[in-house]
Structure 1
Amino acid sequence: MTTKPTTTLPAARRSGQRSSAPLHGSAQKSLRATFPARSVPDAWPATTEDRDQVKERLEEFSATANRHTRYIRGRGAQTILRWLEEFPGDTWQQRWRNSGSDDQRRAWLDHLIEAIGDGRCGRVDRPELASGALALVCADVIRPSLEWLMTRQSLNLRQVVTERRDPDGFAALAAVGAPELWSTNLGFNARYQIAMLIVAKGGGVRDITVGDCLELRETEARVYVHAGSGRSLFYNWLRELGNFPAEAPTTLRDVSRHSGQVSAAELVDRYQLRCRPVRDLIVDYLTERQPSLDYNSLEDLSRTLARHFWGNLERHHPGIASLHLAPEVSAAWKERCRTKTQVRRLPDGTSVEVTSPRTNNINLLTAVRAFYLDLAQWALEEPGRWGPWVAPCPVKEAEISQRKHVTRRKARMDQRTRERLPVLPTLVTTAADELKKAQARLAAVRAAAPGTSFTVLGETYIKVKGTRYTDHVASATAYDANGRRHCLGPAEQRAFWAWASVEFLRHTGVRIEEMLEASHHSITQYRLPTTGEVVPLLQIAPSKTDEERLLLVSPELADVLSAMVCRVRDVSGAIPLVRSYDPSERAWNAPLPLLFQWRWGGQNRPVSVSTIRKGLDETLLASGLADSTGRPLRYQPHDFRRIFVTDAIMSGLPPHIAQVICGHKTISTTMSYKAVYPTEAIEAHRAFIARRRALRPSEEYRTPTSEEWDAFLAHFEKRKLSVGTCARAFGTACVHEHACVRCSLLRPDPAQRGRLEEIRDNLVARIAEAEREGWLGEVEGLQVSLAGAEDKLAQMDRRTPGGTAINLGMPRIATAHPIREKEGTSSLGQSVDDQQ
């Protein structure tokens, strides 16, 4: 991995790479088409009145206000109306639009003061103009845009609209809204949003449509950027009031960020490919593959082909327009695919480019190879459509071998499991302790009065002041001794869901998406047909493999599920229905009584993956666990699944049963999750030795006597011979009757080579004497001994380092300036004079 400093520009812009266009808002666009917002007409009774009639209307509208307020509103409104008379139009609304006031937004008041600064429209007074604009807007004389209202917020807008425009509608809204939120900051914001819709669109509370709410949320995302967590509470109140049809979305939460499914053309067009024919080919290919792929896989395939393959080629080879790649082009592309470059921000605020190996490089090459091979196969069926694009595949079969990749991944995953399984009890204990501490802090801050200090767990806090913040989130905010602000309510929420996640994952081994989709309906029971005992079961909804399964609920898991159910129940005792978003399929799920839900921003919403990860990281930080390198240990939710499989199989659970529990297609997948420990090999070998010993006679394993031990030691002393060592086993007799030269068990000693040569020479002399004397029976035995002696000498030669090596010397090679030798010739035997 290499790093280098960068500038403040994004990496894609510095390298000339075109960044992908975002897909956010596609679901919102679809909803806007289904539920259009109300258009603002040019005329209605209040906006067609003349200036005197408007003055009477404002006086009637401000009848409940004090005299000074009525005076200020009237003077400011008349000044604005005189200024609007300078613009063309038959109504005040038309003149307002022609003045361009909606486009001024925050600068509108400055623009108005500058326009009427010469005094022709009356005295210029900033508070009077702001109050007059509020009066005209609330009296429905003009209907400004939502952008104008959001940039010119007034503290009195909500109150005036509530009291004068539609008091009955707001009273009905208060009856269906949450009483504990109506007078809180969240409730104020929700009512202000409804007031803005009434002012901008006209009508009352019950006239607001789904399209109006969508337009408001879209405008807030454009004006505020960070709209906050409670900005969609107003929509929930209006929906509970019965304003919207049954097919209206359940919530507007995050609808602008969750894109929903889009077409293959939109997926490809994110990367702005220059070659239109290849772009159309990739779109057709994805459309052809779409029925057999889930949406997440389709998006990954579009990213691979449009960005990492063809987009990469267009950036480095401008003008390329054919799939028939030259060898050097394909080789350069594959080399670039082996690494990836990311921009990371350092703690000091600077950024660096980090280049690291791409872990999914083989998957990328496999997708491109499948693309080429599919075109070749489809060309046989539809030659007119796919035939022109058939080309040699730049990726060879040997380049996508998964053997090393799978082995390395298995080794990495096993190492992660071996590091995390032994310390899992520590993590479990820490999660429970952190939850108890967080609950103690939350109880202490709620019991304390605003602005007072309190001590809990040896720490001193000061609760925030302000009785306006009466909801549970704001009332749980305090400052510590160092002046740092702590939101103890969300901290307690994260601590609880971190504890629940650790317990749920380690007892079930489910995937993170399966855990978050578990609902109250998932808890069921089963009566055993043999004993009639009722056992609790947990139903896991179809996820990655589209197969549901049932898990036995252990007593520990039952306690966790009970705590979760008690936590998410509302005041009526029922679990609220929550609609979750499936990030894999880019679709909203049906409302369900999810177990992993919490109340945030005045709404019940599912617990997100980021919340689980953040709570888990905080728990790990509190535990102080570290990995082999000394860095803080990190747990991913999927680590618990591998730990569950490893611990279950090591505890004696058959692998095929673990396969069913985990929902794997094949048992090989289950075994790949199981980490291999060195102790397992040791214990297995010890068990093998124990079984082998059990089959042998027990007498062999008795304690030897002193006589037996002395005989054993004497055996090794008797094995020492003049020319080497005898290798016969203990307790066996010499088969050659001590004719050691002939014996194959004699291991000659190289140091006794001289003695063995004397024996050989003596045998040769004795054979000659026997032949001379005619002792033919003696000759045959002596020749056997001679062959054995020569064999032992040959063994010595083979065992002696360099015993039979022949030194050939170093060859000499002629150089450009050969050195003259005494004989006057070079190393090749040629005369030096001749070489020159």
Structure 2
Amino acid sequence: MEEVITLLDRPPFRAEKQHTQWARRSGARAILDWLADFPGESWQERWEASPAAQCPRRWAQQGHAWVGTAAPVRWSSIQAGLLILAGADVIRLPLTWQFGYRTTHLRSVVEQARDREGYARLREKVDPKRWTAVGGRRARLALARIMLTKGGGLADITAGDAIQYSIELRKSEIDNSGGTLFYSWLRDLGHLPSDAPATLRFLDRVTGQLTCEQLVDRHGVACAPIRRLLIDYLEERRPKLDYSTLDNLARALTRNFWSDLERHHPGIASLDLPPGVASAWKERFRTRTQRRKRPDGTLEETVVERADHALLLMAVRAFYLDIARWAAEEPARWGPWVAPCPIKEAETSNRKRIKRVKARMDQRTRERLPALEAFAQAAADHHRHQSARLQALLAVPPGATFTLGDAVYTRTKNATTANARDPHGALLRFDLAEHRAFWAWAAVEFLRHTGARIEEMLETSHHAMIQYRLPTTGEIVPLLQIAPSKTDQERVLLVSPELADVLATIIRRVRDPRTGAIPLLAAYDYEERTWNPPAPLLFQWDRGGETSRMSGEFIRKALAEVLAYIGLTDSTGQPLDFAPHDFRRLFITDAIRSGLPPHIAQVIAGHTNINTTMGYHAIYPTETIEAHRAFITRRRALRPAEEYRTPTDAEWEDFLGHFERRKLSVGTCARAYGTACIHEHACVRCSLLRPDPAQRGRLVEIRDNLLDRIAEAEREGWLGEIEGLQVSLAGAQSKIDQINSAASGRSVMLGLPTLRTSP
């Protein structure tokens, strides 16, 4: 005992204040005197043999009386003594015991007594504001609890210790916000191996890729030979399929096909299905029961037609036909399972379904294309609104009131948060509202200017922004590299000025203010069930101090808030919602309408088939599509087949060169791709010239020069030049008026058309 007391009198366990040191010392001595009467060779064994180790509540209620039998010490001193004994690793307290024992001094005692050097390194890596914030304090408490349970310092905490803590914390009733931030700190310190999980946030929802055997067994196939056949079939198909497709195929063949047959026909063990059995199965899976909760809490059941009915039939038919084909190559393995396919080819025809889907998507595009600009403007206005609300809150001290509109809000007393209460007492998180509004605006701008899929947007990193030097002029062109997604085909997009502004704003937001770098983030791919290598993803956010990748669900909810803010409705009066994929259809439709050739749009969209691109285009006239296809058919009959392929580098450079040739000294030419100048390069006169406001001074000089030339022509009698100079003067004055109108925000009256009477 005296060795322990002597240890507590030395740094780092000795307290700076004499009164605190006396309380710790007297309390620790009293506890050790009490534990000396219990069996065990170490103080830990004696603690575990005592009633105090069984339940922290009993310790809180009876601990004073228990220890009081050995020495008359105050309860506050006993509590201080227990903490310093745990901090000195004399006694180790289990996690469940610590969760039930509430004290405000545990974290400070451990940080003083354990691994001061490790804590100093950690403080250098953590933002000071985060260190003292609520989430930071909870992360520090998590580290302290693990060390009190396992012993050692920060470097001794393993990934298994962190996982165990996270599991035990979820089982408890303790508020676990910030409960995984400590793991991120351990990774920053470099104490965890490279193969450790990237984060603990989604550990309970991340399963990884299942084997073919696990994919089949999760749906319970009773017939052992059929189970083995399904596993072998999936193993044969696996090399050519991505994991998401394999997962869906396994679900179709097991749960939706064979497990259903076993449930309705117990004992079935052959693929040769009687006609009645096959017909009954197809009829059952033609519809499904849709359950919705009514406002009163009861469930409403509705029978609806399955949207994936044809896809399910195709999967089962392919299963039968693949076995029949493989039996010719390996008769011993697949021959015994060859059976007549219960699904005819006509039943898998999905033309009708495709036409219905196309018509529904076209109607959806037609309704949303006119409202696209209004929705994008609403997203920007919504972010400005939420940002102004946040700034109004931060402008007042904690606990003060402020007014927004007609309502009076009260900021909470916690200075590290941006929360307030409305007049009804409800807690509002102004920082989170501004955060969602910003990313809604960023998603809308990114999607509508790139036509990318949402998964491609969420996987875009800082490394995707590259520069390309045009070989003809040497001009630097910014490009955005889209990572392979659905088609595993990488592509690049030309970055417009509008998109460049959006990307720059996103980078400023996610950049680490201390280092200036974008944090590296290892994101989980929910389609492939694998972790991607760490990358500086653009769509990430600080979630309680831990960087986290944005999810598609988060983006959809943020877009729904913009919709609620603007209140758009369709022709039936229902809310006109915008899904992330709608922007892809709108991008392709608008690009083709603006004159972009369909095969170029195909490359930009990343489609392997031009028919897919045309399927996204809703406004393209039917007769034009048919004429274009007929033209291609005729040309293919006359020209070599090598011409019908992905555009070459030369064609792509010609496409990029079109934008170079549109750049003028006083603005930009707005002529469509593939068209020549029809005004003999008299740009000042041309209605397609889009004047640059920055070149107003040059246009004024041109106008003044034209006035001088007209005056000279009138003096010299050059009447043949006056009319041409006056046309140029009118064009120059028109461009100046356009710039002036845009600067003042006024609209330009173009006048009304009039009918000319024939002479």
Residues 525 and 535 in structure 1, CA contact (< 8 A), matched pair in contact too = yes
Alpha-carbon displacement from aligned partner over 1:41-75 (angstroms, at most 9, x marks no partner): xxxxxxxxxx6766666677576526456555554
Measured in 1, the distance between the counterparts of 2:584 and 2:405 equals 35
Q: 1:352 to 1:135 in 2, by over 3 A?
A: farther
Which of 249, 259, 269 in structure 2 is aligned with 1:301? 249
Shift of 1:390: 2.5
Give the secondary-structure state (helix, strand or coil) at the position aligned to 2:403: strand
| Preserved contact between residue 147 and residue 219 of structure 1 (Cα < 8 Å) | yes
Number of the residue aligned with 1:733: none
Asked whether the equivalents of residues 79 and 129 of structure 1 are also in contact (C-alpha less than 8 Å), the reply is: no
**Equivalent position amino acid for 2:529 in 1:** R
Shift of 1:78: 4.5
Does the 8 A contact of 2:44 with 2:90 survive in 1? Answer: yes
1:450 maps to which of 398, 404, 408:
398
User: Is residue 368 of structure 2 the alignment partner of residue 420 of structure 1?
Assistant: yes
Q: Which amino acid aligns with 2:588?
A: V
Q: Is the 8 A contact 2:409 2:420 kept in 1?
A: yes
1:491 maps to 2:433: yes
- Residue from 538, 546, 558 that aligns with 2:500: 558
Is residue 458 of structure 2 the alignment partner of residue 516 of structure 1?
yes
Distance 2:164 2:197 in 1: 14
Whether the 8 Å contact between 1:59 and 1:74 is mirrored in structure 2 is no
Change (3 A) 1:98 1:408: farther
2:218, 2:134 → 1: CA distance? 40
Change (3 A) 1:225 1:164: closer
Equivalent-residue separation in structure 2 for 1:372 and 1:122 (angstroms): 82
Matched residue, 2:111: 162
Q: Give the stretch that moved more between structures: 337-346 or 121-130.
A: 121-130
- What CA distance in whole angstroms lies between the structure 1 residues aligned with 2:25 and 2:368? 71
- Asked if 1 retains the 8 angstrom alpha-carbon contact of 2:107 and 2:141, the reply is yes
Matched, 1:199 2:148: yes
Name 1:256's counterpart in structure 2: 204
Structure 1 residue 633: deviation in Å?
Answer: 1.7
Alpha-carbon distance in structure 1 between the residues aligned to 2:79 and 2:280: 65
C-alpha spacing 1:133/1:378, structure 2 compared with 1 (3 Å): farther
How far is the alpha carbon of 1:239 from its aligned partner?
2.7
Say which of 67, 91, 101 aligns to 2:42.
91
Q: Residue 757 of structure 1 corresponds to which residue in structure 2? A: none
Q: For the Cα contact (< 8 Å) 1:578–1:605, is it kept in 2?
A: yes
Asked if the contact 1:117–1:124 (Cα under 8 Å) also holds between the matched residues in 2, the reply is: no
What CA distance in whole angstroms lies between the structure 2 residues aligned with 1:149 and 1:684? 74
Q: State the SS of the aligned residue for 2:203.
A: coil
1:574–1:682: structure 2 CA closer, same or farther, 3 Å change rule?
A: closer
Instruction: Kindly provide the amino acid, as one letter, of the partner of residue 137 in structure 1.
Output: A
For 2:480, the equivalent position in structure 1 comes to: 538
Describe how 1:342-361 pairs up with structure 2 within 5 A: 342-361=290-309
SS class of match (1:393): coil
Match of 1:576 among 512, 519, 541: 519
Asked if structure 1 preserves the Cα contact closer than 8 Å seen for 2:525 and 2:531, the reply is yes
Q: Give the CA deviation at 1:453.
A: 0.9
Aligned to 2:550: 607
Give the alignment of 1:74-113 within 5 angstroms: 74-75=29-30, 78-79=33-34, 82=37, 85=38, 89-94=40-45, 109=59
Deviation at 1:91, TM superposition (A): 3.3
CA distance in 2, matches of 1:554, 1:494: 25
Given that residues 593 and 620 in structure 2 are in contact (C-alpha distance below 8 angstroms), is that contact kept between their aligned partners in structure 1? no
Are positions 1:632 and 2:575 aligned together?
A: yes
Change in 2 beyond 3 A, CA 1:457/1:242: same
Deviation at 1:188, TM superposition (A): 1.1
For 1:149-298, what aligned pairs fall within 5 Å after superposition?
Answer: 149-223=98-172, 227-228=176-177, 230-298=178-246
Matched-pair contact (CA < 8 Å) for 1:162–1:170: yes
1:612 Cα deviation (Å)? 0.9
Question: Tell me, which stretches of 5 or more residues in structure 2 are unaligned?
Answer: 628-759
1:50-129 map, 5 Å: 65=20, 67=22, 70-72=25-27, 74-75=29-30, 78-79=33-34, 82=37, 85=38, 89-94=40-45, 109=59
Cα distance, 1:517 vs structure 2: 1.3
Distance 1:128 1:163, change over 3 A: closer
* Alpha-carbon contact 2:30-2:67 (below 8 Å) kept: no
Is the Cα contact below 8 Å between 1:78 and 1:132 reproduced in 2?
no
**1:44 — aligned with what?**
none
Provide the C-alpha distance between the structure 1 equivalents of 2:383 and 2:592, rounded to a whole number of angstroms.
31
> Could you tell me which of 364, 380, 389 is aligned with 2:312?
364
Task: Quote the offset at 1:415 in angstroms.
Answer: 1.2
Q: TM-score, normalised by structure 2?
A: 0.75
The alignment partner of 1:256 has SS state of: helix
Q: Distance in 1 between matches of 2:355 and 2:151?
A: 67
Contact preservation (8 Å) 2:56, 2:98: no
1:618 aligned to 553, 556, 561, which one? Answer: 561
2:609 to 662, 666, 670: 666
Deviations 1:444-469 (A, max 9, x none): 111211111112355432111134xx
Q: 1:550 to 1:169 in 2, by over 3 A?
A: closer
Task: Return closer, same or farther for 1:106/1:534 CA change in 2, 3 Å cut-off.
Answer: same
Question: Which AA in structure 2 matches 1:512?
Answer: I
**What residue number does 2:96 align with?**
147
Structure 1 gaps, min length 5? 1-50, 686-836
Hey, what's the Cα distance between the residues in 2 that align with 1:124 and 1:360?
Answer: 73
2:410 aligned counterpart, secondary structure: strand
State the 1:200 CA deviation: 1.1
8 Å contact kept, 1:437–1:457: no
- The alpha carbon displacement at 1:361 in A equals 0.8
Asked if the contact 1:520–1:595 (Cα under 8 Å) also holds between the matched residues in 2, the reply is: yes
Query: In the alignment, is the contact (CA less than 8 A) between 2:159 and 2:196 conserved in 1?
Result: yes
Bigger radius of gyration among the two: 1
Q: 1:262 to 1:682 in 2, by over 3 A?
A: closer
Matched, 1:479 2:430: no
For residues 183 and 403 of structure 2, what CA distance do their matches in structure 1 show? 40
Larger RCO, structures 1/2 (Cα 8 Å, 6+ apart) = 1
What is the alpha-carbon distance in structure 1 between the residues aligned to residue 439 and residue 45 of structure 2? 55
- Closer, same or farther: CA 207–372 of 1 in aligned 2, 3 Å: same
Q: Number of matched residues?
A: 621
Amino acid corresponding to residue 142 of structure 2 in structure 1: Q
Find the counterpart in structure 1 of residue 631 from structure 2.
none
After TM superposition, give the deviation of residue 77 of structure 1 in Å.
5.6
Aligned partner of 2:751 in structure 1 is: none
Give yes or no for contact 1:509–1:645 (8 Å, CA) kept in 2.
yes
Name the CA shift for 1:75/1:417 in 2 (closer, same or farther; >3 Å): same
Whether the 8 Å CA contact 1:58–1:74 is kept in 2: the answer is: no
For 1:626 and 1:232, how far apart are their aligned partners in 2? 41
> C-alpha distance in 1, partners of 2:190/2:620?
61
TM-score, structure 1 length as denominator? 0.69
